[in-house]
Amino acid sequence: MLRQILSQIWYYRRSSLWLLCELVVIFITSWFLVNEIWTAHYRAHSTPYGYDYEGVYIAELEPLSDGQPGYAADNDTYEASAAALARFGQTILQMPEVSACAVTGMSLPGLSTYTANMQYPMDTAGAYIEFTFHSRQAGEPDMELMGYRQVWPEKAPIEDAPGTCVISSDLAQLLFPGENPVGRRFSDASTSPDAVSQYSWVISGVVEPIKHSLTEEPRPMVLYAYPNMLQAPYAPPCFIFRLRPGVDADSFIEQAGRTWEREMPYGNWRVSAVTPMPEFMRKYIFLDNFKWKALWVFLVVNVLIAAASFSWLRLRMRRPEIGVRRAMGSTAWRIALQQLGEAWIVYAAAAVLGWILTANIILIAKISITGGSSMTLQSVRDSLPLLYDPTVHFLAVAGIVTAVLLAAVTLAALIPLGKALRERTADILKDE
């Protein structure tokens, strides 16, 4: 059987060579396409978020300025603004549909709106660590509402006091390897005098790594507690809340978006929008979603071109042969097995050549195939070999492409074959 398959490939060597070259090009193109699509999808969905954003709603606040309707100069004082924020929180929490509410900063993980990245100096030589800074208010239940996964302290609540901070465990492992950093100052890990003067925050807790964006893996993060959100310089205040079970969330949020601005005229603040947190997060990846869909369409077109080539060539060139073999007594199963064997051998040769050429293109052009945020720490990278180990990543993408194209080639060989086998042998021989 194998000798017969090889002899048939040689006999149809011109078409076999054409199919081989076409498949090699499709393999190379498809690898880079799947690398773009699958890597982004895996990064978005296969790494833990470190918090629960489903079921969280955000009430955005907008400050009034002089000249706008409802503005009052007397409400521009710190005391009046703080009282207005407190009234917002009390009003929302007193609603029977709301189960929990907290004021926090718009620098929440996942929003990408008021992202503040800071550089922490490690020594006097200029080495530093970059981390993301989130502003929150001490004493608020936002930590529980967001569902951050607490690591330290192990069996005690976090002492949430002004001037303290909660850090992600990847950052804690880098700054204080193998230690429980609770109670230490953030600046203790540095020998730079700038760290002592700027980052003398007391670490009150450690949580699991946090994703700041749906399309990125976790990055080092600090959640700093201010006495009041009005003192936070990097992010305006907002309110996050959850609804009680059984509440019609869509109806409630739609009504809140229409009426809260009018019904809560507190100080010089107004509710500008009420949005589910998942919807808010996805607003910033619209273009990425468009790119993924476009690449998927292009990949499907590639596969269809390969299938069409196989189908047309096999149907036109092998139809008389199939008729003659049927007339000579060959069974349909034997013919099908031989045809598949020919397709698979050409496919295997194309796969080997395609992967060798793809690897050489990557090496010669020095293409970074993994991407990712430059802020991601090594401990997180080590936990994600499919993203950051070049060999594992290359083989994973190659495996996906190999499986998809193998299915396409197999179907492309079977479809015209099945059509030819269903025809009467006499009709085939008469036509030819």
Chain segment 306-332, per-residue pLDDT in tens: 655 655 555 555 556 665 555 555 555
Mean pLDDT rounded to a whole number for the chain: 78
pLDDT in tens, 349-406: 888 998 999 999 888 888 777 766 667 777 777 777 778 888 888 899 899 888 888 8
Q: How many CB atoms sit inside 10 A of residue 319's CB?
A: 18
pTM: 0.71
Task: Tell how strand 128-137 and strand 221-226 pair up.
Answer: parallel
Q: What is the pLDDT at residue 360?
A: 92
Number of alpha carbons in the 13 Å side-chain half-sphere of residue 398: 20
At residue 199, the pLDDT reads 79
The mean per-residue pLDDT over the stretch 41-66 comes to 81
How far is it, in rounded angstroms, from Cα 166 to Cα 204? 6
Question: What per-residue confidence (pLDDT) applies to 287?
Answer: 47
Would the pLDDT of 76 be above 70? yes
Residue 67 CA to residue 268 CA, distance in Å, equals 12
- pLDDT tens for 216-249 read 778 888 998 988 888 887 778 888 999 888 888 8
* Structure letter (DSSP) for residue 151: E
Q: In the predicted model, what is the mean pLDDT of residues 260-279?
A: 82
Cα angle for residues 229, 78, 196 (degrees, 5° grid): 50
